[in-house]
Chains A and B, each alone.
Chain A
Amino acid sequence: MREAVQTGRHFWYGNIAIAEGAIAAGCRFFAGYPITPASEIAEHVSRRFPEIGGMFVQFEDELASIAAILGASWAGAKSMTATSGPGFSLMQENIGLGIMMEVPTVIVNVQRGGPSTGLPTLTAQGDVMQTKWGSHGPYEIIALSPDSPQEAFNVTIRCFNLAEKYRVPVVLLTSETVGHSAGKVVVPPEDAIEIVERKKPKVPVGEYAPYKPDEDLIPPMACAGEGYAFTTTGLTHNEKGYPDTTAETQEKLIRRLNDKIRSHLGDIVDVTEENMEDADIAVVSYGQVSRPAKKAVEMARENGIKAGSIKLTTIWPFAEHIIHKWAKQVEYFIVPELNYGQIYLEVKREAAGEAKTLLIPRMGGELITPTEIYNEIERMSKR
């Protein structure tokens, strides 16, 4: 039998690092459905959970899996599912329920090429906008994207912490490349891992209203079986959780669901800025593309080009204040991504009027090379 936290040095696939990160974060409920290239996460969890008292269920489909992790979270468990594009599409309706009911949970999307069945075994970053807008209605969500097995481990823990803190489903938006590349993962001692737990009600049972927010716009969360006899619904609801389908309640509730994320950008957004102090050209990247991007910036520096790199670990909410800040300095943003322009649009929006934005698109199937990115940096530097 092995411990929950595998303190030490490991050589893990990204998908294994995600499973171990979840376990280290306290995840003890996993529901999923097999799908390439995410299945290793479920496989690893199914092996590990009996060792540590977790509950693993392979459901009949992704619709059930996402519903079950929401239910488990309401019972107080930290819960997770893992899927890829087609399964992520199926989950969208209940992601909306998670947003509306304010349920902390983590959804891993190991991206593959799409649309439809697409490239089951090959990488892509085509689900960025789907993560933001895939469920109907106006909402904010949190999504993080790691670039390596080590970061996958770290970011998975952070996903759970953010979910608990903000009472929101958090998407771990990784990809086949990260999931299926192996690398060194250092797992710190258990007591060195920061774990965040959801806020619990502090008022007596009779006074508890499940959707009455604190000043931070986040309501404390009671769980089933604790005696609060609360009710919750996917319908537009008042602070008591009662359905109240009026324009006024919709305005108040939906604004708060968005604002509780938007007003905490500084806490949620995690970016790594390198060589930006004097940069004229900034390469904005995320996920596995951050690695060739970083290399390309190094190549540029070696050739005397003032290029820098902005790596987004937090995809949503978008790091608009960061882009806005650098837009005043740089002339060009270059956005390499494995789609036909998604984060590019966000960067372009924030850079508008200050700097130009260039997309290096690839539809998926393989990575963009450092040389391809460098060639664009060089071309821009001569303009």
Chain B
Amino acid sequence: MNTQTTAESEQHPIEKWLRSERMPHMWCAGCGVGPTLYAWIRAPDRVGIPREKVVYVSGIGCCGRGSGYLNVDGFHTTHGRAIPFAIGLKLARPELCVSVISGDGDLFSIGGNHFIHACRRNVDLLVICTNNFIYGMTGGQLAPTTLLGDRATTAPYGNVEPSFSTPHLADAAGAVYVARWTSIHLRRLEKSIAEALQMKGFRYIEVLSPCPVNYGRRNKLPEPDDIAEWFRQSSVIRNGANTSEISIEKGKPLILGDFVKRTGKPTFYEVMKELEGRVKPR
């Protein structure tokens, strides 16, 4: 056996992407953000995107803190505004590979309007939502993704509001790639991210993600690996499923897969450049 090893092979493979001096990170035991980021950060290498072009924009919340942990250009912005901030970055420097990775509250409650308009415009972004069904950082309040009947600190008698099925929302608003995985379906998630990174336009991946502390403890899933176990036992992969039929309900299968792949839809940048081409020659 060849015992000669380089420094890189003697460390965790994520180390070169990580601001190691900031470890351990702030996320709780069993949190789904870490695995999601690990799947994301490995994807650019797989598809040959150079690291200096990789940009990570996040909003506010637990997942928002991710942009400060990875060794790429990272922007931790304001609550709900990661997508428009990222649009500015991408349109001003189109060669960048810009991903928004943020939580369900950030992207679909306070930032919901930006999400649907970015889908509609087909801005060239990859948006990954770590959906943990709750407001984690602020202490377990009701989110627009909290399931009916679930308890939250602001829904102490159980949630009475219907939740968003975010892949359906993305599909209806015109996203060109829509998928859903969980933070334990990591091979598939990584493959899905790699595929999405090679596409152009607005691409959306929902990653169901455990929040053991602020969701699990209040909803009979108290151990750090209970929610992961729920995902393992309930998940059914159904690629190409109709997004109107995949809403998440307790006691029913969690439908995962890549649901939407639209081709031929020009991106916002492309239509603007085409317009410029028409205007410039007079």
Contact = CB atoms under 8 A, between A and B. Distances in A.
Interface stretch (A58-66, A193-201, A281-289, A299-307): A58-66
A235 B280 CA distance: 43
Contact of A31 (B88, B113, B280): B88
Chain A interface mostly: mixed
Nearest to A64: B84
Contact of A225 (B73, B75, B87, B268): B73
B84 A65 contact: yes
Chain B interface mostly: helix
B114 interface: yes
B78 A75 contact: no
Contacts of A60: 113-114, 117
Contact of B77 (A97, A230, A242, A243): A97
A28, A31, A233, A241: residue with the most chain B Cβ atoms closer than 10 Å: A233
B73 A1 contact: no
Contacts of A70: 77, 85, 88
Contacts, number: 147
Interface in B79-125: 80-81, 83-93, 95-96, 113-114, 117
Given A67-B84, A68-B87, A225-B52, A77 B92 contact: yes
A72 interface: yes
Interface residues on B, range: 35 or more
Nearest to A61: B113
A67 B88 contact: yes
B23 interface: no
A51 B280 contact: yes
Interface string A229-264: 111111100000111000000000000000000000
B2 to A, nearest CB: 30
B78 A97 contact: yes
Given A1-B282, A225-B53, A71 B22 contact: no
A267 interface: no
18 contacts: A28-B92, A50-B276, A56-B272, A63-B81, A71-B77, A72-B91, A73-B92, A74-B75, A75-B88, A75-B89, A76-B92, A77-B88, A225-B73, A225-B95, A231-B73, A234-B78, A242-B19, A243-B76
Interface of B: 19, 22, 51-53, 55, 57, 65, 67-68, 71-78, 80-81, 83-93, 95-96, 113-114, 117, 268, 272, 275-276, 278-282
By Cβ-Cβ distance, the 4 closest A-B pairs, closest first, are: A71-B88, A68-B88, A64-B84, A75-B92
Interface of A: 1, 28-29, 31, 50-51, 53, 55-57, 59-61, 63-65, 67-77, 79, 93-94, 97, 223-235, 241-243
